Amino acid sequence: MWIETKTEVEKASRTRASFSRRVLNGLLLCSGDMEHLDKYMKDKSFVLQLVVCGLRAVARVILANNPLSGGLILAALYWASPWQGLLGTLGVLASTLTAVITGQDSAEVAGGLHGFNGMLVSLLMGEFSSAGDWYWWLLLPVFLGSATCVFLFSGLSSFLDRWDLPAAVFPFNIIIILYLLCTGPEHPYFPHHSVKPPGALEPNATELIALQVIRGIPLGVGQIFACGDLGPSLLILGAVFLYSPLLAVHALLGSAVGTLTGLSMAVRHESLYSGLSGFNGALGCMTVGGLFFTFSLWTHLFAIASAFFSAYADIALSNLMGTVGLPASSWAATLVATLMLLLTGSLAAYRIPIGQVRAPERNLRSRSQWEAGNTEERESTDV
């Protein structure tokens, strides 16, 4: 009897251990780039493939490449505002389908590369619209703007390919500026809020509330999706953590650096509280600290420098574009990240060729493997 009980206990503990191991394995399977999913998806229906590549595109906005992260983020957006969630979904679908129709590279489409700009455009169009939620006419520019992103992404990729640079969110930044310029605050069909530059003077400024500023740091991560609520922002951060803990840490760190920068330049309090000061820093920090460069102490320091530079450039550009009522969106971070990718010197040694970029943790592991390939590739482009 005793022996049996012992074995039962052993069995139970073993079951528990194997259960937690299974959970861990499951989590590991769900984290990172989930490349195993691609093989599984190959013979599935078009709609299912579209869903997966759409979710990948949603995650791509925040530099992750994982359909589950995408799902979590989409849930966060619907939680924050169902209308914004709907616009985002439409944007991803419109641009992904445009990419399919115009015959873009199918591997790129499957990787979600043609969807994330469209999503950002539609989210920001919704955010800036002053016609209120559920203004159905907005779907027209959302659809057109998202579709046009594919053209810009394809053209800019051809252009930047000479330096092995990604088109990143340049298409989104261009289209949203063109849209806002086309319409204007008092447009009869598509009115939008005017943007106040962060450096604008506040006549009766109250004292700064430290807690609100700290609250702005996670909000900075949410602001990448134009989302200003704490709960959804934390869920988005969690989605990034699922893809790569390292990336999530850099997102928070970058947002903190951005907030610090805002404080040092005495921007409007509203800008600090809402997380708008932080999101360019977050993007600048994430790009360098793990994604396009193998993680190391050196890369980490450059990531912080990149966050500072992105945040200061964002204040500058916001002040400039604010004079004509435009937002600087993520111009600063995109330009700084592009600059960082062009850098020579010690940082360049850690650079990962665009085609081989995976989750930071995986990049770290397989560095020795691709290093040889990298040297070869470098030589071949230098010919």
- Kindly list the residues in this chain that would bind a second copy in the complex (CB under 8 A): 99, 102-105, 148, 151-152, 154-159, 162-163, 177-179, 181-184, 186-189, 199, 201, 264-266, 305, 309, 312-313, 315-317, 319-320, 323-324, 338-340, 342-347, 383
Nearest CB to a second copy, comparing residues 24 and 324:
324
Nearer to a second copy, 45 or 323 (CB): 323
The residues with which 293 forms a beta bridge, in sequence order, are 351
Minimum CB distance to a second copy, residue 263 (Å): 11
User: What's the closest the beta carbon of residue 283 comes to a second copy, in angstroms?
Assistant: 17
As beta bridge partners, residue 129 has 192
- What is the smallest separation between the CB atom of 272 and a second copy, expressed in angstroms? 15
Q: What is the spatial distance between Cα 340 and Cα 270, in angstroms, rounded to a whole number?
A: 30
Question: Residue 91: which of 63, 124, 69 has the closest Cα?
Answer: 124
Q: Which is nearer to a second copy, 19 or 189 (CB)?
A: 189
Smallest gap, in angstroms, from Cβ of residue 244 to a second copy?
A: 25
**CB nearer to a second copy: pick between 40 and 189:** 189
Rg (the chain; Cα; Å): 22
The gap between the terminal CA atoms of the chain, to the nearest Å, is: 77
For residue 281, give both structure tokens.
Answer: 């820093």
Length of the chain: 383
Residue with smaller CB distance to a second copy, 24 or 181: 181
Pick the closer one to a second copy by CB: 295 or 331.
Answer: 331
Helix, coil or strand: residue 129: strand
Which of 43, 382 has the CB closer to a second copy? 382
Amino acid identity, position 186: E
DSSP 195: P
Closest to 57 (Cα-Cα) out of 172, 135, 229: 172
* Angle formed at CA 57 by CA 56 and CA 61, multiple of 5 degrees: 115
Which own/partner contact pairs does 157-164 have at CB distance under 8 Å and 24+ positions apart? 160/338, 163/341, 163/342, 164/341, 164/353, 164/354, 164/381
Residue 85 CA to residue 105 CA, distance in Å, equals 27
Pick the closer one to a second copy by CB: 238 or 325: 325
The encoded tokens of residue 233 equal: 């922002």
Query: What span, in angstroms and rounded, lies between the C-alpha atoms of 315 and 261?
Result: 9
Taking the complex as a whole, the smallest distance from the CB of residue 311 to a second copy amounts, in Å, to 10
User: By C-alpha distance, which of 89, 63, 85, 86 is closest to 279?
Assistant: 63
The least distance separating a second copy from the CB of residue 156, rounded to whole angstroms, comes to: 8
**Which letter does DSSP use for residue 275 in this model?**
T
Q: Which is nearer to a second copy, 230 or 343 (CB)?
A: 343
- Measured from the CB of residue 71, what is the shortest distance to a second copy in angstroms? 28
Taking the complex as a whole, the smallest distance from the CB of residue 378 to a second copy amounts, in Å, to 12
Shortest distance in whole angstroms from residue 302 CB to a second copy: 8
Buried b (16+ CB within 10 A) or exposed e, 47-61: eebbbbbbbbbbbbb
